[in-house]
Amino acid sequence: MEYRTLGNSDLRVSVISQGSWAIGGPWAHGWGEVDDQESIRTIRKSIDAGINFIDSANVYGLGHAEEIIGEAIQGRRDKVFLATKFGAIPNANAPGGFNWDGSPAHMAQECEKSLMRLKTDHLDLLQVHWPIAETPIADTMGGFQRLIQQGKLRYAGVCNFSKAQLAEAMKYGKLVSLQLRYNLLERDMEEEVIPFCIANGMGVQVYGPLAHGLLAGEFKHGDKLKAEDWRSRYTLYESTMFEKIMCVLDKLLPIAKSHNHTLADLAINWILNRAGVTTALIGMIHPWQVDENLRSIDFQLSQKDLGEIDRAIKEADIELRILAPEAYMEKTKQK
């Protein structure tokens, strides 16, 4: 296993990390049933394989994901760094939607709940889940500092922040990392955000490195998602875009096969070799997925490979861009 330092912290984290969105099971975003014991076995296998960074959030399964992690790490707490998030509050009047609160009081309340569910006395990293317009960033950063002083938190981080939002937050305290969505197809963050993180000593955690299954080779031309699948509302899965992306993947698959690897291996390997990236968060719910994903770090893409990958995307002549954090946040609030 390869390890990298997470920004300006002393956390040496594995380049493959355990995400836990799906571990939460069926909740607001339509994940199917998940076998909790299978999830526990998966987390323990990942730890045994050298994966030492586990990321969660207070709303994943409405707390259930944290509870499963807490059970899985019993007797192994010293082998892992625990990261979680706060800020989102499920909206009972709008199923699948959220209210948002980044205030120090709400942060402290959610931190206590997370500590209890994770069965630990401290978090290695607490992150605000999205930029929250309703709360001044100075207040949020002050809340982080109080938890650090109380020994309940080691480091503070943010998720889905723009360059301007990062700069504003850093006026009021230290941030060690940014968590963002980034993959072969969604590369907006290369323009400003990731260079800003590099220049300011912030680690980058990548979620969605497989574009939520699209880069894992799970789909073929003509496939359509069921309406209840949250990904049906995800830009990359819209019919016209989806078919163009399938054509791109047709060109990428031979590159993966030339290394005796899968499309998913190629996508993860590519992201881990991008400037500034510290770790890729991958949601694993079966022990076999640990072995499968670890294969992605045992080969090296050549400059020729990288050139062919970029050319395939460029020739597709599609706008492979995600919404800016502010726009995505507004879209999320409207659900």
Classify the C-alpha dihedral 206-211-213-217 as positive or negative. negative
Question: Rounded CA gap, 269 and 282, in Å?
Answer: 13
Does the active-site annotation cover 234? no
Residue among 109, 156, 158 nearest 129 (CA): 158
| Beta-bridge mates of residue 100 | 88
* Residue of 3, 60, 237, 328 marked catalytic: 60
Which residue, chain included where needed, has tokens 């030339």? 258
Question: Rounded CA gap, 85 and 282, in Å?
Answer: 16
Residue among 121, 55, 60 nearest 90 (CA): 60
Classify the C-alpha dihedral 23-43-56-146 as positive or negative. positive
The CB density around residue 206, as the number of other CB atoms within 10 Å, is 25
| Beta-bridge mates of residue 81 | 53
Label the pairing between strands 3-5 and 12-14. antiparallel
At residue 26, the 3 state secondary structure works out as coil
Q: Which two tokens stand for residue 265?
A: 């291996």
Residue among 249, 248, 219 nearest 234 (CA): 219
Q: Which two tokens stand for residue 90?
A: 């499920």
Residues annotated as catalytic (active site), given as ranges: 60
